[in-house]
Structure 1
């Protein structure tokens, strides 16, 4: 099974064959679908976020696999790191919630008030800037592509928790089509200058 997956990944790197990708997806991501509910609970995340995590890791691992060792091990190691990062981010976000609670002192009739203190952090400013940058960059790339890809990217940018599966359902197309369109768009993206293409689709 591991040798088969290794061969499929190397073949896909050369051919970009849709049928080959479907086999890779089935052997690497789809087999974990029944466990996503439990994984989501353990990570304090939604099932959609778990889908996004596994699919994003797969898309990152396929082009970077060199053929050394087993792809399955490489994929699972990357998933483990990504899950740890997601759990850490969730935990930190919870800890950053600052609540100021003014409780009644002696008068039982006085009402307790709960105020949520909201202040913009440097991280918020960075995210806002990144969203502006990503939209400008994606807009320039979309000038070179088709209407379906434009709809997919617009859906990604407007969706709170976008995944290929969720976007596919929204647009009425197969999630494999979403993945292929994004991969094709990524070929026009200068990763050396801007970093990873998918970071510009989801600024969080």
Structure 2
């Protein structure tokens, strides 16, 4: 009770004299409480202690601004302002976290779709389609895409594989049009079929959706 009254008196003296001396004394007293509280609030709001301390300081200034000196419970007023700002911060950070998670899930989904596209292309090879020319390959696999876009996509996937310093993946992307199934491709390259599928899924994560658009278009035949 004595400490509560002490903080109340310091707030009143500051409002009366607008003296930095009283503000500093009040601030020093509050730091004792804030030292432990900021750790809890930082975790609760998905934030950090520096941000929380700034929040406390802003709340203190607001509480002093509206404090009329008549009430005997400045700490109650201060805590109201702190709680309001903490709730706002918590909502903002939770909303941001949710957006980040949706974005990550969207990217993962996009990667899975791209992997499925590559696997679908491999599964759709015609055993009688023996031409290895680039023009015939694009007509067979990507009939609804412009020639330039088709070439750019395959080149992009191959170049993406090169950035991984993975010669096996480059070889898989270069050779998979010659075989009618991933298993036969794997056998021809001396690889396990799961290795082929894993490599395709890995390189699919480098697919540039901004550059090539909706992945679902590549499934249309």
TM-score (norm 2): 0.48
The 1:22–1:114 alpha-carbon spacing in structure 2 relative to 1, beyond 3 Å, is farther
Please identify which structure carries the higher helix content: 2
Greater Cα shift, 104-113 or 77-86:
104-113
The 1:86–1:114 alpha-carbon spacing in structure 2 relative to 1, beyond 3 Å, is farther
**2:90 maps to what in 1?**
87
Structure 2 runs not aligned, ≥5 long: 120-196, 211-221
What SS class does the counterpart of residue 66 from structure 1 fall into? coil
Q: Which one of 36, 39, 61 corresponds to residue 59 of structure 1?
A: 61
Larger of the two Rg values belongs to structure: 2
What is the distance in 2 between the residues matched to 1:116 and 1:76?
49
Q: Which one of 182, 199, 217 corresponds to residue 109 of structure 1?
A: 199
What is the distance in 2 between the residues matched to 1:3 and 1:20?
14
**2:21 maps to what in 1?**
19
What is the distance in 1 between the residues matched to 2:84 and 2:34?
16
**1:7 maps to what in 2?**
9
The 1:117–1:76 alpha-carbon spacing in structure 2 relative to 1, beyond 3 Å, is farther
**1:38 maps to what in 2?**
40
The offset of 1:77, in angstroms, is 1.5
Greater Cα shift, 64-73 or 24-33:
24-33
RMSD: 2.5
Q: Residues 104-183 of structure 1: matches in 2 within 5 Å?
A: 104-105=115-116, 106=119, 107-110=197-200, 111-113=203-205
What is the distance in 2 between the residues matched to 1:116 and 1:25?
52
The offset of 1:69, in angstroms, is 4.2
How many positions carry a matched residue from both structures? 118
The 1:112–1:62 alpha-carbon spacing in structure 2 relative to 1, beyond 3 Å, is same
Q: Residues 184-195 of structure 1: matches in 2 within 5 Å?
A: none
- Maintained 8 Å contact 2:67/2:74: yes
What is the distance in 2 between the residues matched to 1:56 and 1:24?
14
The offset of 1:43, in angstroms, is 1.3
What SS class does the counterpart of residue 198 from structure 2 fall into? coil
